[in-house]
A and B are shown apart, each in its own frame.
Chain A
């Protein structure tokens, strides 16, 4: 049986066979840390257990704190709203009182003005009637004067006439 000889001349002439080597995948490579000692392992386990017990206590405190904060803020906001409403009410009351006073004053002034106008108008009417009476008497007096200056016919109605004067 021919075995692969060590003869170099023969080696080169022999057909070469390729061998595929499978390289290991990097992901599947597991690098394990050096395992701790047993005492340290126990301590770590104990610490892990402690953390598991404290977690619910911390959450409860936070929740309680948030709840209290919310109640406080709610109370503060309510108080603030109430004080604002009170202020607005008092302001509105003062404004209404002021408006009422102004309206009353305006009405009084308007009444006074109307009264003044009425008295002024009555005075003017009275004066106009008196002056009309004076004018009427004066004109009738003038007409009577003409009766003396001119002649009147005996007809009805009577007519004035003036004689021709050269």
Chain B
């Protein structure tokens, strides 16, 4: 059985790249700290045809799914790309979307990395927040 993402995540001709992901539980880092390796981070292999939900699963594999009390699907991952703004001469963030682990169709879980403007070498910043499952989903896309 394959992944629940509507678009296949793997392509034979696409070479995976190593990306550094800075993560925090319900916190917001400063872009300067992210770019200067002052925040906790994990390294994962991604490719541009991967969706935000797939990236969230790979990040969760090394973070929330490691401990017994946090091993469940009720998490929300909010992604940002940290970069240096050469015009304003300061580091900045750019929001690219959010994804829920319990449902790949919620929020921006179906967006591909290539469509959100990700380039190889960009550093991702992820904010992990609890997101309880509801009987009727009312999340806005």
Contact A132 B15 (CB under 8 A): no
Docked Cα-Cα span, A135 to B53, in Å, equals 10
Name the residue of chain B whose CB is nearest to the CB of A129: B73
Contact A135 B10 (CB under 8 A): no
List A contacts of B54 (CB < 8 A): 135, 139
B129 near A: Cβ within 8 Å? no
Contact A121 B18 (CB under 8 A): no
Set B2, B71, B135: member contacting A121, Cβ < 8 A = B135
Q: A128-B101, A143-B58, A146-B15 are in contact. List 14 more A-B contacts (CB 8 A).
A: A125-B102, A128-B103, A131-B4, A132-B57, A135-B104, A136-B58, A136-B60, A138-B1, A139-B58, A142-B9, A143-B45, A145-B10, A146-B16, A160-B16
Name the residue of chain B whose CB is nearest to the CB of A161: B15
B residues whose Cβ falls under 8 Å from a Cβ of A? 1-4, 9-10, 12, 15-18, 43, 45, 53-54, 57-58, 60-61, 65, 71-74, 101-104, 133, 135
| A contact patch SS | helix
List A contacts of B9 (CB < 8 A): 139, 142
Considering only CB atoms and an 8 Å cut-off, how many residues of chain A contact the other chain?
Answer: 27
Contact B73 A142 (CB under 8 A): no
A71 near B: Cβ within 8 Å? no
1/0 contact string of A103-136 vs chain B (CB within 8 Å):
0000000000000010011001100110110111
